[in-house]
C-alpha cells in the first residue's frame, strides 16, 4: 500500500468576507503513487474515464498509464493496470477522454495527437490491454498544449498548440473510414496503415492567430469557443466563424486554464472560470463579460482549475491545491458588482513536493486526482 502523504489546512479571508463552508475533515489524501508506479519525470496530465473505472496519466518520460479506480473499502484507491512506454516520441503534455467513453486522446511535444481505443474487455485479470493505439493526427508544428472534446458521439476533437493554431479534427475515421470536406473546402483525410493504425494528416478546420494561444473552452451548447491568448485576454468567438463576440479583460498574466460552469441552463448565461500566471482565478458572467470574483492566495501561477458542484479547485506552481466555495447567487448575476470582489478564504491540500500540473475529478465526485512535477499522482477524498 502506498503511503497517502498529504495534509489539509484552512485559510480564512479578511473580515467581512464569507469563509469557506467546507470542513477540512471532508478532504483527505487517500492514496499516493510510489515506487515502480512513480514516474521518472513530470506527470503533466491526468483525466478520468466517463464510467469512472479508470484514470489516465501522461508524463514527460513519454509514458501513458492506465489506473484502475478501486472502491473506498480497498486499502489502495488506484492501481496501475497498464504502462505504455514511448507512447509518444516526446513529452505527453495533455490527456483527454471522449465524452462517449470510447477513446483516449494524448497530445505531445512531438507535435502529434494519438488516438487510443478503450478496450472494454481489457484489464480485469485478462491479458488484453485496456488501451490500443487507433490513430495518429498530424498537422501541428509545435507542442500540442491542450485537447478539448465536446461531442458524445466522439466525432470532434479540438487541439491547441504553441504554433498559434486551434485545430478541429474529424474523428469519424475511427468509427468508419471516411473523407470529409467542410464549407471552406478544407479536407480531412485519413489512411489506414498495415498495422491498423489510422493516420490523419489534415484537420477539418484550422484557426490561426498572430498571438499565442494558451487555453480553450467550448460552450456546452457548442455555440461559442473561449480562447485564452498571450495578451492576457480571453475572447469569445462563434464556433463556426471568426467574429469576436466578447473580450474578457482583467488578468495581468496569461490565461493558462479555463472551465465553463454548467449549473445554469440558459445558453447565454454560463459562468466562465479562468486561471492565470498572475496567480489568480477569475469568475466571469459569460453574458456580460463581467468579472464577478477574483480568487487570490496562490503564490505561483495557476496550472489547472476544475469546477464541481459549488466548489472550485485550483492547482499551482506553488505545489498546492486550493478548494474554494462558490456563491449560488452568482449563477444568475449579470450586473457588474460595485467593485471587484476578492476571495481569499480557502482550504489547502498539501503533499506534493513540486508544481501540481493538472487535476481530474472522477464521475462519482468522490476523488480528486492530482498530477505533479514530483513524479507522483495523488488521490484526494472530496465526497461522502
Q: Are residues 185 and 274 in the same domain?
A: no
The answer to whether 354 and 378 are in contact (CB under 8 A) is no
Mean pLDDT of 121-131: 73
- The Cα 263–Cα 328 span in angstroms is 9
Mean pLDDT of 169-191: 59
DSSP secondary structure string, 71-107? PTTSS-SEEEEEEETTSSSS-EEEEEE-TTSSEEEEE
User: Does 380 reside within a domain?
Assistant: no
Q: Are residues 8 and 79 in the same domain?
A: no
pLDDT at 1: 40
Question: In the structure, what pLDDT confidence band is assigned to residue 270 with cuts at 50, 70 and 90?
Answer: confident
Which structural domain range is residue 106 located in? 42-163+165-208
With a cut of 90, say whether residue 15 has pLDDT above it. no
Q: Are residues 179 and 306 in the same domain?
A: no
With a cut of 50, say whether residue 180 has pLDDT above it. no
With a cut of 60, say whether residue 267 has pLDDT above it. no
Number of domain units in the chain:
2
pLDDT at 279: 98
User: Does 78 reside within a domain?
Assistant: yes
Q: Which of 208, 238, 263 is the last residue of a domain?
A: 208
User: Does 375 reside within a domain?
Assistant: no
Q: Are residues 203 and 77 in the same domain?
A: yes
Q: Give 70's DSSP letter.
A: P
Q: Using one digit for the tens of pLDDT, what is the confidence trace for 224-258?
A: 999 999 999 999 999 887 788 899 999 999 999 99
With a cut of 50, say whether residue 186 has pLDDT above it. no
Mean pLDDT of the chain: 86
pLDDT at 122: 73
Mean pLDDT of 53-79: 91
Sheet with 7-11: strands ordered across: 7-11, 346-350, 321-325, 311-316, 302-308
User: Does 382 reside within a domain?
Assistant: no
With a cut of 80, say whether residue 71 has pLDDT above it. yes
User: Does 268 reside within a domain?
Assistant: yes
Q: Are residues 129 and 241 in the same domain?
A: no
Q: Are residues 186 and 239 in the same domain?
A: no
With a cut of 50, say whether residue 184 has pLDDT above it. no
Mean pLDDT of 266-290: 87
Q: Are residues 203 and 215 in the same domain?
A: no
The candidate with the shortest Cα–Cα distance to 234, out of 222, 209, 217, is 217
- The Cα 32–Cα 16 span in angstroms is 37
Question: Which of 83-97, 130-144, 249-263 bottoms out in mean pLDDT, i.e. has the lowest?
Answer: 249-263
Q: Which of 179, 208, 237 is the last residue of a domain?
A: 208
User: Does 334 reside within a domain?
Assistant: yes
pTM of the model: 0.90
Mean pLDDT of 166-184: 69
Q: Are residues 228 and 282 in the same domain?
A: yes
pLDDT at 150: 83
Q: Using one digit for the tens of pLDDT, what is the confidence trace for 323-377?
A: 999 988 776 666 667 777 999 999 999 999 999 999 999 988 889 999 999 999 9
User: Does 309 reside within a domain?
Assistant: yes
CATH of residue 284's domain is: 2.130.10.10
The answer to whether 252 and 232 are in contact (CB under 8 A) is yes
Question: In the structure, what pLDDT confidence band is assigned to residue 21 with cuts at 50, 70 and 90?
Answer: very low
Look at 98 and 309; give whichever has higher pLDDT: 98
User: Does 370 reside within a domain?
Assistant: no
Amino acid at each position: 500500500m502506498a503511503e497517502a502523504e498529504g495534509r489539509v489546512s484552512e485559510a480564512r479571508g479578511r473580515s467581512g468576507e464569507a469563509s469557506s463552508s467546507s470542513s477540512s475533515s471532508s478532504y483527505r489524501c487517500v492514496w499516493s503513487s510510489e515506487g515502480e508506479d512513480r514516474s521518472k519525470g513530470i506527470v503533466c496530465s491526468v483525466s478520468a474515464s466517463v464510467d469512472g473505472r479508470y484514470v489516465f496519466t501522461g508524463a514527460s518520460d513519454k509514458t501513458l498509464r492506465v489506473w484502475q479506480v478501486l472502491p473506498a473499502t480497498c486499502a489502495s484507491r488506484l492501481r496501475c493496470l497498464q504502462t505504455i512506454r514511448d507512447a509518444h516520441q516526446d513529452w505527453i503534455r495533455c490527456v483527454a477522454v471522449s465524452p462517449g467513453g470510447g477513446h483516449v486522446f494524448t497530445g505531445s511535444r512531438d507535435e502529434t495527437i494519438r488516438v487510443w481505443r478503450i478496450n472494454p474487455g481489457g484489464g480485469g485479470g485478462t491479458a488484453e490491454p485496456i488501451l490500443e493505439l487507433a490513430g495518429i493526427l498530424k498537422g501541428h508544428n509545435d507542442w500540442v498544449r491542450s485537447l478539448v472534446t465536446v461531442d458524445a458521439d466522439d466525432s470532434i476533437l479540438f487541439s491547441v498548440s504553441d504554433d498559434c493554431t486551434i485545430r478541429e479534427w474529424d474523428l469519424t475515421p475511427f468509427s468508419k473510414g471516411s473523407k470529409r470536406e467542410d464549407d471552406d473546402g478544407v479536407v480531412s483525410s485519413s489512411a489506414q496503415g498495415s498495422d491498423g493504425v489510422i493516420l490523419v494528416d489534415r484537420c477539418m478546420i484550422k484557426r490561426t492567430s498572430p498571438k499565442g494561444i494558451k487555453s480553450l473552452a467550448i460552450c456546452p451548447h457548442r455555440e461559442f469557443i473561449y480562447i485564452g491568448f498571450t495578451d492576457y485576454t480571453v475572447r469569445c468567438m462563434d464556433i463556426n466563424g471568426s467574429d469576436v463576440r466578447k473580450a474578457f479583460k482583467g488578468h495581468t498574466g496569461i490565461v493558462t486554464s479555463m472551465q465553463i460552469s454548467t449549473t445554469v441552463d440558459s445558453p447565454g448565461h454560463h459562468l466562465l472560470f479562468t486561471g492565470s500566471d498572475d496567480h489568480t482565478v477569475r469568475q466571469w458572467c459569460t453574458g456580460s463579460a463581467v468579472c464577478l470574483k477574483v480568487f487570490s492566495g496562490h503564490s505561483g501561477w495557476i496550472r489547472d482549475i476544475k469546477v464541481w458542484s459549488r466548489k472550485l479547485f485550483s492547482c499551482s506552481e506553488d505545489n498546492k491545491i486550493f478548494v474554494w466555495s462558490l456563491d449560488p447567487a452568482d449563477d444568475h448575476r449579470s450586473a457588474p458588482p460595485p467593485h471587484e470582489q476578492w476571495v481569499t478564504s480557502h482550504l489547502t491540500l498539501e503533499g506534493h513536493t513540486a508544481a501540481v500540473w493538472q487535476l481530474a475529478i472522477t464521475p462519482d465526485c468522490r476523488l480528486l486526482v492530482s498530477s505533479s512535477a514530483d513524479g507522483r499522482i495523488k488521490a484526494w477524498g472530496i465526497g461522502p
